[in-house]
Amino acid sequence: MLGSRDDLTEDILKSSKKEPKLIFQEKAKCPRCGSLSLVIKEYIYSVPYFGEILLSQGECERCGYKYRDVRILNATDPKKIIINVNGEEELRYLLVKSATSAILIKEKGYKMLPGPASMGFITTVEGILLRFLEAAHVACRGRELEPGCKDNIEWLKRAIDGHEKFTLIICDFDGTSSVKGKNVLETSIDSECEELRGESLQYLYGR
């Protein structure tokens, strides 16, 4: 395991045995300040576990806005990735979560939906739980002792410690996510994923 942080993108990219290859560069309009000063670059990295990764990054020369996105270079068909988490072994599984993918913890109904500011990242199953825990703390600020908040925070902490069994689902709508581990199943996109896609579109476009 590379660590317990929620984002291991930098660690994985640094482990590349080849120099990254710059394949694209241009200036575009910055979404923050509106000036034509956002420098966009795309690199191909060859990394352990996942092979070739496409890194897209941008930085505005005027206001300093930054973004970074990673995804598997060679896309597959859209797929549903199912991870049956039984303990510490599965928590260490490495994954690439693309910007357009949705995540669901089925037993609890926890959802991570793609939005306009979504970015792809590399993490572990534990890292996904850490992101959910951070979101729970933000949503429950000042209400941590209320039953709903308390139960969710305590369940996530137990799951992070390997004391809960659950099903982690990644709905990979563009085929650029990946999970490395033996207890992983890949199937076609189904109605469960389509429902998450619908929620994402409703959030994005209000319909």
Taking only the tens place, the pLDDT of each residue in 13-69 is: 999 888 999 999 999 999 999 999 999 999 999 999 999 999 999 999 999 999 999
**146 to each of 12, 131, 150, how far by Cα in Å?**
39, 21, 6
CATH class of 79-205: mainly beta
Amino acid at residue number 14: K
| Cα 187 to Cα 162: distance, rounded to the nearest angstrom | 26
Signed CA dihedral, 69, 73, 77, 82: sign only: negative
Per-residue pLDDT band for 116 (boundaries 50, 70, 90) equals confident
Q: Give the pLDDT band (50/70/90) at residue 5.
A: confident
pLDDT band with cut points at 50, 70 and 90 for residue 206: low
Q: Indicate the residue type of 161.
A: D
- pLDDT value of residue 176: 97
Say which residues have a Cβ less than 8 Å from residue 162's Cβ, sequence separation at least 6. 87, 88, 91
Q: What pLDDT band is residue 144 in, cutting at 50, 70 and 90?
A: confident
**Could you tell me the two tokens for 115?**
């939005």
The phi and psi torsions of 178 (rounded to 5 degrees) equal: -155, 150
Q: Give the tokens for residue 29.
A: 């309009």
List, in order, residues 6 or more apart from 7 with CB less than 8 Å away: 121, 122, 123, 127
Is the CB of residue 183 less than 8 Å from the CB of residue 90? Answer: yes
Q: How far apart are CA 27 and CA 40, in angstroms?
A: 6
**9-72 — its CATH code?**
2.20.25
What's residue 1's pLDDT?
41
Question: For the whole model, what pTM was predicted?
Answer: 0.91
Domain residue ranges of the chain, discontinuous segments joined by +: 9-72, 79-205
